[in-house]
Amino acid sequence: MAEREQDTGLRSRLVDVGVELVDEEGAGALSLREIARRAGVSHGAPRRYFPTHLSLLSAIARRGFESLAARAGEAIAAQEGDPRAQLTALARSWLDFALTNRGMFELMFRHDLLESNQLGLRETSLPLFATLVDLVATARPESGAEPRIVAGALWANLHGIAQLWGWGSLQLAVGDDDPEPLLRAALDAHLGPEAR
Amino acid sequence: MAEREQDTGLRSRLVDVGVELVDEEGAGALSLREIARRAGVSHGAPRRYFPTHLSLLSAIARRGFESLAARAGEAIAAQEGDPRAQLTALARSWLDFALTNRGMFELMFRHDLLESNQLGLRETSLPLFATLVDLVATARPESGAEPRIVAGALWANLHGIAQLWGWGSLQLAVGDDDPEPLLRAALDAHLGPEAR
DNA sequence: TGAACGCGTAGACAGTGTCTACGACACTCT
DNA sequence: AGAGTGTCGTAGACACTGTCTACGCGTTCA
């Protein structure tokens, strides 16, 4: 009588339910009690594994960071050897993630809902940022600018596009269809126009 | 016996209190009942002027947008005649606002807390964005890129830097001291290196 | 067999946003 | 002048939230 796929322990089931829920209903729907309800347990049960609401939300968000890091890694690996193409792929996968998993993306950067505010930034974002710095350094070796600075600015640009596009603040600038021109503009700006 | 400066009506007093509160305690402290408490009225009183919690928060956020637009306008006006310097001033005032009024900045871009999600974007951001497009167009007339696209990308970059720096995600890239290099990098990237 | 313990239940508590009925007050109209 | 009519704020209820606590049920170990 396996109603749910498998009882892999309540801890991970709560996180699973949270991931489902945030996709369906957004970050605002992630109440402790609603998650417990959907997991089929009482409202006090999560407390055994997650001492506070924030810790549960943080565990859910960590799934998002892992997923994003995985996608970005694949995108980079698929363009092996061409740093510029790798950067483009990284940017595209980031933006794609933000627009596809809106609820999760919202949660991941709602620092008031996450604890210690460096659960994913220090663990998954930091190596990702390091590879970004490397790619920037090799993609434009001639430039005198520090790769760390360029990478940081590009990172922020990417994030800003994802965020603003996600809630419709940039559509009036570009037209409603496609954020791709913005993405290309950002890459060209920070990396120099594409060599062809 | 004027305990508070002047009774200019409860409506505006609620917004005043909200602006104070968000500066002191952050966006999370802006509960309807706490605002009413600080204004010295019962928890049901705000409902006469703001039908919902979101509408009150939106009125508070509007103050922030007005303030930001005013600062940006002054910054631009102070550099009359030099588009590039105007853009730099605009960018600096934006970042400065975000880092000085952290609570307000947080509220202004918490779209889940604001109603109709275009209270300030359509009313104050849109003309500001229009002038940004103009400045970009005149600051780099030689470039073939569409000014709307460049302005949108720069806008997003600015916002991303403000956001990420605000919660400490970029300090590891640049060092803890100053976001200025990031800002200069973004401007140089989107507008071309500064002519000197 | 009996004790200990992991694990989830259930109720309480303070806090929230929203809704409703109710008063105090001022102002107008005949 | 007196009655009626609005405006404006109060106060209580309701459902919901996160956290805390005491309580059981079941298994496991000695």
Tens of pLDDT along B79-93?
999 999 999 999 999
Write out pLDDT tens, residues B22-32. 999 999 999 99
Write out pLDDT tens, residues B4-13. 344 579 999 9
Distances (CA, A) of A147 to A153, A157, A175: 10, 15, 32
d(CA B77, CA B85): 10
Confidence of residue A23 (pLDDT cuts 50, 70, 90): very high
Assigned token pair, B183: 């800002």
d(CA A136, CA B130): 32
Under a CB-based contact definition with an 8 Å cutoff, are residues A108 and A57 in contact?
Answer: no
Distances (CA, A) of B163 to A26, A54, B133, B171: 21, 21, 22, 12
Å: B25 CA to D12 C1': 29
Q: Would the pLDDT of A7 be above 60? A: no
Beta carbons of A27 and B169 less than 8 Å apart? no
Residues of B in contact with A111 (CB under 8 A): 167
Residue of chain A nearest B118, judged by CA positions:
A169
d(CA A119, CA A121): 6
| A window 6-45: Cβ near strand C (< 7 A) | 9-10, 36, 41-45
- Give the residue-averaged pLDDT of A145-168: 94
Q: Is there contact between A62 and strand D, defined as CB under 7 Å from any strand atom? A: no
A167 touching chain B per CB within 8 A:
yes
For residue B86, give every residue at least 6 positions away whose Cβ sits within 8 Å of its Cβ, in sequence order, or none.
B75, B76, B79, B80, B135
Average pLDDT, chain B: 91
Assigned token pair, A49: 């594994």
Report the residue from B26, B149, B167 with minimal CB separation from A182.
B149
pLDDT, position A83: 95
pTM for this one?
Answer: 0.92
Q: Which nucleotide lies nearest residue A11, CA to C1'?
A: C7
- Give the residue-averaged pLDDT of B43-54: 97
Å from A140 to nearest chain B CA? 13
A156 touching chain B per CB within 8 A:
yes
Write out pLDDT tens, residues B134-170. 999 999 877 788 999 999 999 999 999 999 999 888 9
Assigned token pair, A156: 């922020």
Beta carbons of A157 and B152 less than 8 Å apart? no
Helix residue spans in chain B (DSSP H): 10-25, 32-39, 53-77, 83-100, 102-108, 126-139, 147-166, 171-174, 180-191
Torsion sign, CA atoms A35, A38, A41, A43: positive
Residue of chain B nearest A28, judged by CA positions:
B112
Distances (CA, A) of A127 to A160, B92, B125, B167: 20, 30, 35, 19
User: Which position has the higher pLDDT, B28 or A122?
Assistant: B28
What is chain A's Cα-based Rg? 19
Q: Is there contact between B33 and strand D, defined as CB under 7 Å from any strand atom? A: no
Among residues A144, A182, A177, A146, the alpha carbon closest in space to that of A163 is found at A182
Under a CB-based contact definition with an 8 Å cutoff, are residues B71 and B98 in contact?
Answer: no
Q: Is there contact between A32 and strand D, defined as CB under 7 Å from any strand atom? A: yes
A160 touching chain B per CB within 8 A:
yes
Beta carbons of A153 and B186 less than 8 Å apart? yes
